[in-house]
């Protein structure tokens, strides 16, 4: 993706930037030729399950995971997996050990979710399938694949669209989004405030601060009401990372002025300048340092939470997937960056927390994920990478049972709901294991996404979503085993992501 340039003029600073990007990518390319490395991006909106997914993936590989559907592992070709120092010293490391310790407590806890970008490297020593490659081992050394996992908030992806927009275009889009009927209440204070100020008057810092605060409140309120809708930005207003309280976040969209220019020293001129600074200092470095170096991307989403909010939320989530795919679409770039930019070759959409359903509904959840992704692919006119959808529970917090009711049997899940969770009049105490009928997903996912509630069988989208306590993990058994937590279909996800690299 590159910035659109008015009238074909290209600034020297742009050329320099692209050249740096290209050289960085070339550097990575050269290093990879010596030591094969695959860089996996893991993203998704807040609470989608990124931290849990990465922790579980690493533990299953480094420890003694049960991964029957990951052939390289099942065939015994993986000899050793170790954590290695990550290649980028300026990126925080993913706090794998802390998260694991949380699961090993007497009262296990879920980790704190992703708030900023972090990274971890796995080195996998394996026996190649090819006899030829095995014969070359004495000369070339043991086969090793480095896997760099880069975890980052999905909210930050929203910013990539800003790189192609100037302040006026971004403002127009942001203000138009606030016109949608379901956002009217959330946007009211911000809209009234913008209506009451003169954007062409001299900058008053208090006005800038107030506007930015109201705009941020509006974004956060909309996200709470419609968690699936991620397309409102800037991303750091929602997930500031280490920019919390930074002046870089004190701008907000303004309606177009009477004439094209922005008077010097005016609020509008200041907002425009800060918007450009945000692009230069926040959005572009994220793109250059992380996003454009990813080989394979995992996008996690909590389809069941969206389903719980009703079919319209599912439609919104599918729309958010479209925006994600657009971000991954190879953009119009300069010749140098096109030559060296890494291309994402696989994208995996994962509907998380499948353990909230009985296994009889797992295929339906997967079909729902597929239908949403397919619709997104068409809308984004996406091509160029293999896209797959799966339903996964990275850590299984429930088991299954059949409840006998009125002579028939009902498929249930059994787990310990977190203290304060409710079903009907029952409030859970965080101690008691409970059997729950989680609800059924309908066989035809398209009906759910169409949002045509009139056509839905009664209660079809009425899936109960509770937070269950995680299972307790033993870090090491007396026999020296390092068990991994139970999962659902995580092995298939791992195989899709790295299986071909271990051939
Ligand atoms: P992030 O914000 O995307 O990093 O989300 P987290 O990984 O922190 O997950 C958010 C919450 O979702 C966790 O605290 C858990 O309550 C729940 N969760 C995530 N993955 C699973 C899963 O595989 N099974 C279950 N039952 N709950 C999960």
| Token output for 113 | 């979710």
Q: How far is the CA of 422 from the centre of ligand 1 (A)?
A: 18
Pairing verdict, β 426-427 and 422-423: antiparallel
Query: What pLDDT score was predicted for residue 100?
Result: 97
In order of 41, 269, 303, 315, the CA distances from 372 in angstroms are 20, 41, 10, 8
For residues 123 and 62, what is the distance between their CA atoms, to the nearest angstrom?
9
Measuring from atom 20 of ligand 1, which residue has the nearest CA? 49
Query: What pLDDT score was predicted for residue 397?
Result: 97
Alpha helical stretches, state H, 165-225:
167-177, 184-196, 205-225
pLDDT at 209 over 60: yes
Query: What pLDDT score was predicted for residue 4?
Result: 36
For residues 320 and 477, what is the distance between their CA atoms, to the nearest angstrom?
43
Contact 298, 42 (CB under 8 A): yes
Query: What pLDDT score was predicted for residue 9?
Result: 36
Contact 396, 355 (CB under 8 A): yes
For residues 446 and 499, what is the distance between their CA atoms, to the nearest angstrom?
31
Query: What pLDDT score was predicted for residue 398?
Result: 96
Which residue's structure tokens are 């999962």?
487
Query: What pLDDT score was predicted for residue 22?
Result: 53
Output 10 or 124, whichever has higher pLDDT: 124
3-state secondary structure 34-93: HCCEEEEEEEECCCCCHHHHHHHHHHHHHCECCCCCCHHHHCCCEEEEEEECCCCCCCCE
Query: What pLDDT score was predicted for residue 330?
Result: 62
Query: What pLDDT score was predicted for residue 272?
Result: 95
For residues 495 and 488, what is the distance between their CA atoms, to the nearest angstrom?
14
For residues 37 and 311, what is the distance between their CA atoms, to the nearest angstrom?
40
Q: How far is the CA of 436 from the centre of ligand 1 (A)?
A: 19
pLDDT at 337 over 70: no
Q: How far is the CA of 138 from the centre of ligand 1 (A)?
A: 44
Query: What pLDDT score was predicted for residue 130?
Result: 78
pLDDT at 454 over 60: no
Mean of pLDDT values over 30-43: 80
Question: Rounded mean pLDDT of the chain?
Answer: 84
Measuring from atom 4 of ligand 1, which residue has the nearest CA? 113
Cβ neighbour number for residue 200 with a 10 Å cutoff: 16
For residues 100 and 105, what is the distance between their CA atoms, to the nearest angstrom?
9
Which residue's structure tokens are 């992501």?
497
List residues near ligand 1 (CB under 6 A): 44, 46-52, 110-111, 113-114, 352-353, 355-356, 393-395, 397, 467-468
pLDDT tens digits, one per residue of 152-165:
998 888 788 888 88
Measuring from atom 24 of ligand 1, which residue has the nearest CA? 353
Going by pLDDT thresholds of 50, 70 and 90, the confidence category of residue 50 is very high
Alpha helical stretches, state H, 329-390:
335-340, 362-379
Mean of pLDDT values over 391-397: 98
Q: How far is the CA of 50 from the centre of ligand 1 (A)?
A: 7
Output 19 or 352, whichever has higher pLDDT: 352
For residues 225 and 189, what is the distance between their CA atoms, to the nearest angstrom?
16
Query: What pLDDT score was predicted for residue 457?
Result: 42
pLDDT tens digits, one per residue of 356-369:
999 989 999 999 99
| Token output for 144 | 């090793």
pLDDT tens digits, one per residue of 58-114:
999 999 999 999 999 999 999 999 999 999 898 999 999 999 999 999 999 999 999
The DSSP line for 250-316 is: --------SSSS--TTBHHHHHHHHHHHHIIIIIHHHHHHTGGG-SEEEEEE-HHHHHHT-HHHHHH
Residue 39 exposed, middle or buried by CB count within 10 Å (0-12, 13-18, 19+): buried
Closest of 56, 4, 22 to residue 353, by C-alpha: 56
Residue 1 exposed, middle or buried by CB count within 10 Å (0-12, 13-18, 19+): buried
pLDDT at 333 over 90: no
Q: How far is the CA of 453 from the centre of ligand 1 (A)?
A: 28
Closest of 342, 222, 255 to residue 292, by C-alpha: 342
Contact 171, 199 (CB under 8 A): no
pLDDT at 196 over 70: yes
For residues 133 and 145, what is the distance between their CA atoms, to the nearest angstrom?
14
pLDDT at 235 over 60: yes
Q: How far is the CA of 302 from the centre of ligand 1 (A)?
A: 9
Measuring from atom 25 of ligand 1, which residue has the nearest CA? 353
Q: Quote the crossing angle between the two packed helices 267-278 and 205-225, to the nearest 10°.
A: 50
Site to probe by mutation for ligand 1, drawn from 52, 118, 223, 470 as the one with most ligand atoms within 8 Å of Cβ, is 52
The pTM (predicted TM-score) of the whole model is 0.87
Closest of 58, 129, 138 to residue 502, by C-alpha: 129
In order of 37, 47, 49, 55, 356, the CA distances from 112 in angstroms are 28, 9, 10, 12, 20
Task: Determine what percent of the chain is predicted with pLDDT higher than 70.
Answer: 83
Q: How far is the CA of 49 from the centre of ligand 1 (A)?
A: 4
pLDDT tens digits, one per residue of 162-184:
888 899 999 998 998 888 777 88
For residues 112 and 151, what is the distance between their CA atoms, to the nearest angstrom?
13
pLDDT tens digits, one per residue of 26-35:
555 555 556 8
Query: What pLDDT score was predicted for residue 384?
Result: 82
């Amino acid at each position: 993706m590159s910035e659109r340039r008015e009238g074909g003029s290209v600034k020297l600073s742009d050329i320099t930037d692209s050249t740096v990007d290209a050289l960085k990518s070339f550097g990575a390319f050269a290093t990879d030729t010596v030591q094969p490395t695959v860089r996996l991006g893991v993203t998704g909106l807040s609470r989608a399950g990124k931290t849990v997914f990465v922790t579980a993936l690493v533990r299953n590989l480094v420890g003694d995971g049960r991964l029957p559907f990951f052939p390289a592992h099942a065939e015994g070709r993986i000899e050793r997996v170790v954590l290695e120092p990550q290649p980028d010293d300026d990126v925080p490391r993913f706090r794998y050990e802390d998260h694991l310790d949380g699961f090993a407590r007497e009262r296990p806890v879920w980790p704190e979710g992703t708030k900023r970008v972090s990274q971890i490297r796995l080195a996998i020593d394996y026996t190649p399938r090819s006899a030829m490659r095995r014969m070359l081992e004495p000369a070339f050394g043991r086969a090793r694949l480095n896997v760099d996992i880069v975890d980052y908030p999905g909210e930050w992806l929203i910013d990539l669209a800003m790189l192609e927009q100037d302040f006026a275009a971004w403002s127009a889009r942001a203000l138009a989004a606030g016109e949608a009927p379901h956002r009217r209440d959330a946007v009211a204070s911000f809209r009234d405030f913008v209506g009451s100020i003169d954007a062409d008057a001299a900058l008053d810092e208090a006005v800038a601060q107030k506007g930015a605060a109201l705009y941020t409140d509006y974004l956060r309120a909309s996200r709470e009401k419609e968690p699936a809708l991620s397309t409102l930005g800037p991303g750091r207003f929602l997930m500031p990372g280490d920019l919390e309280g930074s002046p870089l976040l004190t701008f907000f969209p303004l309606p177009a002025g009477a004439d094209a220019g922005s008077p010097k020293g005016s609020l509008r001129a200041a907002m425009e300048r800060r918007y450009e600074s945000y692009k230069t200092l926040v959005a572009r470095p994220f793109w250059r340092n992380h996003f454009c170096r990813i080989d394979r991307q995992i996008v996690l989403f909590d389809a069941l939470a969206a389903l719980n909010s009703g079919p319209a939320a599912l439609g919104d989530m599918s729309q958010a997937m479209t925006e994600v795919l657009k971000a991954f679409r190879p953009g119009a770039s300069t010749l140098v960056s096109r030559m060296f930019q890494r291309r994402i070759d696989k994208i995996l959409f994962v509907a998380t927390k499948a353990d909230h359903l009985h296994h009889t509904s797992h295929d339906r959840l997967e079909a729902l994920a597929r239908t949403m992704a397919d619709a997104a692919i068409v809308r984004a006119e996406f091509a160029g990478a293999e896209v797959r959808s799966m339903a996964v529970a990275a850590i299984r917090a429930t088991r299954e049972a059949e409840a006998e009711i009125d002579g028939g049997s009902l498929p249930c899940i059994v787990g310990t709901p977190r203290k304060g969770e409710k079903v009907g009049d029952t409030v859970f105490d965080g101690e008691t294991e409970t059997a729950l009928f989680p609800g059924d997903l309908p066989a035809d996912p398209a009906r759910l996404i169409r949002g045509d509630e009139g056509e839905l069988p009664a209660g079809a989208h009425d899936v109960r979503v509770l937070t269950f306590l995680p299972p307790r993990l033993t870090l090491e058994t007396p026999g020296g085993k390092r068990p991994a937590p139970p999962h659902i279909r995580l092995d298939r996800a791992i195989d899709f992501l790295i299986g071909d690299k271990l051939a």
